[in-house]
Amino acid sequence: MKSNISLESLVESYLLENELTSAYEYQLDYARRKLEEWHGKQVLASELSDHLINSWLKDQQSKGNLSDRSRKNLRTSMLTIWKYAAERDLTAQPGKIRRVKVADKNPEAWDFKQLDSVAQAASKLRGKLVNGIPRHRYFPCLIWFCFETGMRRGDAFSFHMSWLRGNVVSFSQHKTSRVHSCRLTSETVHELEWISNRLKELNDAKWETPLAFPGCLTQLYYWMKQCRKQAGVDPNERNRVMQHLRRTGATAVEANSPHTAWKYLGHTEPALSRKHYIDRRIADEPILPPVTRANAG
């Protein structure tokens, strides 16, 4: 590589050498574009400096156009690019880069009654998916499957009937490549088998992956939102689909058996699940001082 390589070319090289999710690929290039937009011109790897990046991060804070978490993601992504350049002797290693403070936020989840209401609404959906499976069979199965397993969206859609032995699912997580096992209820197993058999009858090549959604994700979000509207559960909220089911399941596990949700999520330690998945309003025992105020009157 030449010492005057641009950040754009540097990011392209990094993406070629590393297997990343499409979302993370976008985030890395987004950080590069935001820096160059602020700088007013193309940035070379050799121009990276503490002063440049700190001035950029400070300006992003003062403008207030981005959330703290978005600014932190920009910082993290830019450091990834910078360290990659430094490893190739294109620039010096990062020095003291100002940190972005992000206040802790309680992850929101549904309680079991809300979840059940959404699933019941899904069981009343009319019509069929493009593969011929009735919506009132597919969506409740998807909801309960995700709640019971804690699978991420991609893993749920990729679920293969061969992963199932009795009512235990064992699979390699796409994100972490770690093997994870979870248990299903007999009702969910029955629904998976019904959908799989029906797809086979319809000569659908994907009969062994019964939860693979045959339409675009926009359609999935639309029907899930219809279920929430009918159930009266967060009808106007965004992002109440697969990730929310994962948080709901993790919170239910934690409420029933403290300090175990990380196993359900397939994590290697509890800290991440506690910070990003457990709704403390539901899972934690409320704290109250032993002496309360006397009744008025």
Cβ–Cβ under 8 Å, residues 6 and 44: yes
* pLDDT surpassing 70 at residue 272: yes
**Comparing C-alpha atoms, which of 67, 68, 97, 72 is closest to residue 82?**
97
* pLDDT surpassing 70 at residue 78: yes
| Token code pair at residue 121 | 């609404």
Entry pTM: 0.76
Express each pLDDT in 19-74 by its tens digit.
Answer: 888 889 999 999 999 999 999 999 999 999 999 999 999 999 999 888 998 999 99
Domain ranges of the chain: 7-87, 112-283
CATH number of 7-87: 1.10.150
User: Quick one: pLDDT at residue 297?
Assistant: 55
* pLDDT surpassing 50 at residue 1: no
Express each pLDDT in 82-129 by its tens digit.
Answer: 999 999 999 999 999 999 998 888 999 999 999 999 999 999 999 999
User: Quick one: pLDDT at residue 174?
Assistant: 84
> Cβ contacts of residue 285 below 8 Å, gap of 6+?
none
CATH number of 112-283: 1.10.443.10
Express each pLDDT in 176-212 by its tens digit.
Answer: 888 999 999 999 999 999 999 999 999 999 999 999 9
Residue with tokens 């009319």: 126
